[in-house]
């Protein structure tokens, strides 16, 4: 590495320690390139997922599910948070050492800001380091949005997802504003720990993007677990009191109030592009503040790339990993891989049991003009899935949407135990244009959740025009 006191030169300069950037940094470092990786927070080595996202939240899903009725909620929760933080600390240290321990990679902790298209000045808190880079990756992630509800931002009871999962105090009453993936997951986690949870969703229905039968099954599970869901509601004010926050909301023209010890804003995340000096670099942004990129993740400056949340794409860790593959193909490969290559990308809502989806819903498939057949069963009725009974989780349903003419899988929604794993098999089948019959007639281990496909795809409950092959 070329260094002179407070100056570094890098073949590849990475701003942000997220999944995509760290994979590129490690790969280029192994190839002998000089790499500088800048992360402004020592708490975020490795990015959002292992520190404040996927890993800790899913660890809390697991631990909340293990609590027995006789286990004191506060004690169980405090121990669960401490155990989870031990895991994230381990991962954080491992991520840092894996890169900084390489002779070709230098990790700097501090805030980086562009001086010009090839230069970033890093404020480390104790001084400044000027870094020049031939290739630069912007990988600064995103931050939680706070809706403009009067009194919310000023409330001492307002928390974001990071603050909530790092607090060892279990809120007796948790109000969640936003019924998306994050809101649903946190509602399920904290209800299982013992909190009274009220979930507010502005849309008329929760999970309105899903088919009605899937959404209804998921909502029933959440409400049966004791979560109060208030859909079609607008929170109009938050006012602090002596014992908590009072939320005022309107539903159906009627005003209501509810009190909470913690208020979680879960309305989404915005790309973190402020104070990066993008203007000095000549890097263009979108109206929503994301770094504007093409299908190869190149910004308006061809030597600068943007990976992960900051480019405004889907906010999933596995997408960021694919971002790294696209950039590496630009730097070391043929330069042909792009975001347009992504097909059948699955998603999971980590409620209990999880809801995993891929492809088109039934209503989307019909709207797109497909002649469809639908295979659907309640998990409790799937004869070929004894695992659900073995692990005592028989709630939910599985649904496949198939093209009635070609027998190709158009989409699937799996609300069941192990759904987060099962959906990857379905997505792989879709990417390789396998027939539904291929999944239906495959030989699976027993007892496993995958063998449910033997039954569900056979259980045709709706079919357009009655006649079709493979039924």
pLDDT at 5: 52
Are the C-beta atoms of 118 and 136 separated by less than 8 Å? yes
Query: Exposed, middle or buried, 51 (CB in 10 Å: 0-12/13-18/19+)?
Result: buried
Question: How does DSSP assign 309-366, residue by residue?
Answer: GGGTS---HHHHHHHHHHHHHHHHS-S---GGG--S--EEE-SSS-EEEEE--HHHHH
C-alpha 143: how far from chain center: 13
352 assigned to a ligand binding site:
no
Work out whether strand 128-138 and strand 7-15 pair parallel, antiparallel, or are unpaired.
Answer: parallel
Distance CA 322, CA 426 (A): 19
Strands annotated E in 151-232: 158-159, 173-177, 196-201, 228-231
In this structure, what DSSP letter does residue 291 have? B
Q: Answer for the pair 75, 96: CB distance below 8 angstroms, yes or no.
A: no
Closest listed residue to residue 320, CA positions, set 339, 333, 299: 339
Whether 20 has a binding-site annotation, put simply, is no
Provide the pLDDT for residue 470: 43
Q: Cα separation of 319 and 342, whole Å?
A: 9
Q: Is 125 annotated as a binding-site member?
A: no
Tens of pLDDT along the chain (471 residues) come to 444 458 999 999 999 999 999 999 999 999 999 999 999 988 888 888 888 888 999 999 999 999 999 999 999 999 999 999 999 999 988 888 888 888 999 999 999 999 999 999 999 999 999 999 999 999 999 999 999 999 999 999 999 999 999 999 999 999 999 999 999 999 999 999 999 999 999 999 999 999 999 999 999 999 999 999 999 999 999 999 988 999 999 999 999 999 999 999 999 999 999 999 999 999 999 999 999 999 999 999 999 999 999 999 988 889 999 999 999 999 999 999 999 999 999 999 999 999 999 999 999 999 999 999 999 999 999 999 999 999 999 999 999 999 999 999 999 999 999 999 999 999 999 999 999 999 999 999 999 999 999 999 998 887 886 444 443
What is the pLDDT at residue 465?
64
Structure token digits, residue 339: 């975001």
Query: Whole-angstrom Cα distance, residue 452 to residue 48?
Result: 34
Q: Per the structure block, which two tokens stand in for 446?
A: 């027993």
C-alpha span between 65 and 192 (Å, rounded):
6
Give the catalytic positions in this structure.
Answer: 446
Task: Check residue 466 and give its pLDDT.
Answer: 45
How many beta carbons lie within 10 A of that of residue 369, not counting itself?
7
172 a known binding residue?
no
Q: What pLDDT is recorded for position 1?
A: 44
| Token pair belonging to 468 | 């079709």
Which residues are within 8 A (CB) of 167 and not within 5 positions of it... i.e. 6 or more apart?
81, 159
- Domains in the chain, please, with CATH? 2-143+270-341 (3.50.50.60), 158-267 (3.50.50.60), 347-463 (3.30.390.30)
Query: Is 375 labelled a binding residue?
Result: no
What was the pLDDT predicted at 4?
A: 42
The conformational region for residue 383 under phi > 0 = left, psi -120 to 50 = alpha, else beta, is: alpha
Instruction: Decide: 63 and 80 in contact? Cβ < 8 Å.
Output: yes
DSSP-derived secondary structure letter, 464: T
Residue environment code for 345-356, b if the CB has 16+ CB neighbours within 10 A, otherwise e: ebebbbbbbbbb
For the whole model, what pTM was predicted? 0.92
**Is 140 annotated as contributing to ligand binding?**
yes
Does 178 belong to an annotated binding site? yes
Check the annotation: does 108 bind a ligand. Answer: no
């Amino acid at each position: 590495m070329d260094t002179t006191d407070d100056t570094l030169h890098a073949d590849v300069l990475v701003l942000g320690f997220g999944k995509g950037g760290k994979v590129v940094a490690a790969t280029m470092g192994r190839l002998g390139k000089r790499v500088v990786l800048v992360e402004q927070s020592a708490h975020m080595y490795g990015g959002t997922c292992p520190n404040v996202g996927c890993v800790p939240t899913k660890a809390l899903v697991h631990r909340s599910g293990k609590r027995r009725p006789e286990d004191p909620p506060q004690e169980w929760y405090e121990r669960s948070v401490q155990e989870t933080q031990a895991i994230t600390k381990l991962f954080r240290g491992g991520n840092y050492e894996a890169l900084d321990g390489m002779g070709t990679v230098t990790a700097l902790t501090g805030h980086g800001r562009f001086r010009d298209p090839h230069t970033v000045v890093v404020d480390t808190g104790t001084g400044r380091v000027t870094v020049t880079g031939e290739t630069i990756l912007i990988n600064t992630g995103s931050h939680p949005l706070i809706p403009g509800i009067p009194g919310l931002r000023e409330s001492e009871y307002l928390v974001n997802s990071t603050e909530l999962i790092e607090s060892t105090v279990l809120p007796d009453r948790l109000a969640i504003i936003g019924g998306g993936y994050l809101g649903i997951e946190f509602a399920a986690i904290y209800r299982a720990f013992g909190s009274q949870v009220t979930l507010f969703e502005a849309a008329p229905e929760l999970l309105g993007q899903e088919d009605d039968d899937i959404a209804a099954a998921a909502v029933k599970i959440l409400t049966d677990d004791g979560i109060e869901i208030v859909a079609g509601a607008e929170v109009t004010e938050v006012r602090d009191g002596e014992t908590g926050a009072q939320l005022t909301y309107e539903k159906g023209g009627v005003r209501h109030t509810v009190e909470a010890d913690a208020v979680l804003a879960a309305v989404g995340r915005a790309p973190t592009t402020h104070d990066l000096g993008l203007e000095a670099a000549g890097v263009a942004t979108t109206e929503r503040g994301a770094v504007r990129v093409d299908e190869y993740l190149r910004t308006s400056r061809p030597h600068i790339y943007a990976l992960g949340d900051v480019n405004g794409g889907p906010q999933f860790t596995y997408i960021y990993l694919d971002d790294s593959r696209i950039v590496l193909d630009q730097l070391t490969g043929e330069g042909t891989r792009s975001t347009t290559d992504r097909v059948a990308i699955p998603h999971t809502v980590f409620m209990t049991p999880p809801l995993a989806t891929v492809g088109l819903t039934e209503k989307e498939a019909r709207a797109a003009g497909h002649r469809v057949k639908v295979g659907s069963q309640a998990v409790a009725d799937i004869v070929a899935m004894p695992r659900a009974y073995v692990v005592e989780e028989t709630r939910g349903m599985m649904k496949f949407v198939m093209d009635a003419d070609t027998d190709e899988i158009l989409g699937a929604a799996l609300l069941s135990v192990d759904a987060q794993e099962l959906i990857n098999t379905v997505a792989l089948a879709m990417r390789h244009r396998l027939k539904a019959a291929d999944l239906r007639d495959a030989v699976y281990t027993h007892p496993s959740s995958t063998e449910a496909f033997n039954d569900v795809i056979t259980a045709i409950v709706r079919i357009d025009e009655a006649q079709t092959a493979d039924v």
